[in-house]
Amino acid sequence: MTRPQEVRFLRTQSTMAYPAGRLLALRDGGLNVLAPDGWTRLRTERPRGSTWLTREEAEDWCEREGWPLHLLNEVPHQGRV
């Protein structure tokens, strides 16, 4: 039996502003979006139409869009509010 992934990645649907969609990460029950200044916490549920990505697919997305791969290792843990 394998352990569940600590971070799960998703991609939003394409929009005019984001033709390749946006990269999302789910960790500790919290959803984050990759933004120019790093990961930003979202206070919403998973966007409708978003698709799950494997780690490798998230790496491919970063390479295509010009994002450094190390960001995939920097998804923040959700702290207590």
* Segments making up each domain of the chain, as ranges: 7-73
Instruction: Using the CB atoms, write b or e for 60-80: b if 16+ within 10 Å.
Output: ebbeeeebeeeebeebeeeee
Q: Per residue in 24-74, pLDDT tens?
A: 999 988 999 999 999 999 987 889 999 999 999 999 999 999 999 999 999
Residues 6+ apart with CB under 8 A from 75: 7, 25, 27, 32, 39
Evaluated on CA atoms 56, 51, 32, 60, the torsion sign reads: positive
pTM here is: 0.86
pLDDT value of residue 2 = 54
